[in-house]
Amino acid sequence: MTSDSGAGHEVLGRLRSLPIVAAFAHHTLDDVFAGTHDGTGFILAEIRLFNRTTRMTGSGPNRRPSTRESTVFKGLLFLIETPEKIPVRILLRGPRIPWFAAWRLPAPTLGKLGFVRVPVPDAAFSRHLSLWAEDGEAALRVIGPDLAATLARLAATARWRRLDAGFSGTRFLLLLPKGGNSFAIGGLFRPLSRLGDEAHRLLEEVMVVHRLIDVLKGKAG
């Protein structure tokens, strides 16, 4: 896995191709890593999506612009190649929490965009995620039993942070909200006692990608 500063364009393009997050005007990509597993490419990135508003404050000679930023999403983004092009756009969303997951579009908005909620015959999946798609039957052919079970386990592991995911063309995209910097293992101000734990977490995140690729390619084990 290598650092990749040229993948930001694809990351943003895929984010905008799916109604997976609310509208944002600005972004930062702190770390972008690209790699392959079993011949399938993937990108991991630390991302922050936000909006910025500027207004004038004060009066007379003290009048000056004041800028405020509001974060739409901050966390990890996984972008994985799919074995073949997915014919419809698909969203997978965690449970609604009133005080969290502000990046999600409301369900009525998804409906206006042509998405419908699709029942999934998997109790664990339905407990942690909901499936939305432009075509329910096509979506269920993509979200087979192995992928549904894998995503349910991943969502359960994420616990209160939740996760959202989706398919767009030849890419599978997954968002995992979190704070801090997952990739700053060797940062100057990191206590040595924590480096082992942080390296383990980074390895776990890479292994998540590997497991998803195996399932997408029909190699679940």
In which band, very low, low, confident or very high, does the pLDDT at 125 lie, cut at 50, 70 and 90? very high
Convert the pLDDT of each residue in 126-184 to its tens digit: 988 999 999 999 999 999 888 898 888 888 877 656 788 999 999 999 998 875 555 44
Distance CA 122, CA 4 (A): 37
Position 97 scores a pLDDT of: 65
Position 193 scores a pLDDT of: 40
Residue that has been written with the tokens 């966390």 in this structure: 75
Mean pLDDT of 94-114: 80
* Strand (E) or helix (H) holding 63: none
Convert the pLDDT of each residue in 190-210 to its tens digit: 333 443 444 445 456 667 777
In which band, very low, low, confident or very high, does the pLDDT at 55 lie, cut at 50, 70 and 90? confident
CB of 73 within 8 A of CB of 11? no
Position 32 scores a pLDDT of: 81
Tell me how far CA of residue 202 lies from CA of 33, 49, 50, 130, in angstroms: 12, 22, 25, 27
How many residues are recorded in the chain? Answer: 221
Tell me how far CA of residue 40 lies from CA of 2, 81, 172, 210, 217, in angstroms: 15, 6, 12, 9, 9
Position 194 scores a pLDDT of: 40
Position 89 scores a pLDDT of: 95
Say whether 30 sits in a helix, a strand or coil: strand
Mean pLDDT of 86-97: 87
CB of 109 within 8 A of CB of 74? no
Find, among 1, 47, 25, 62, the residue nearest to 175 by Cα.
Answer: 47
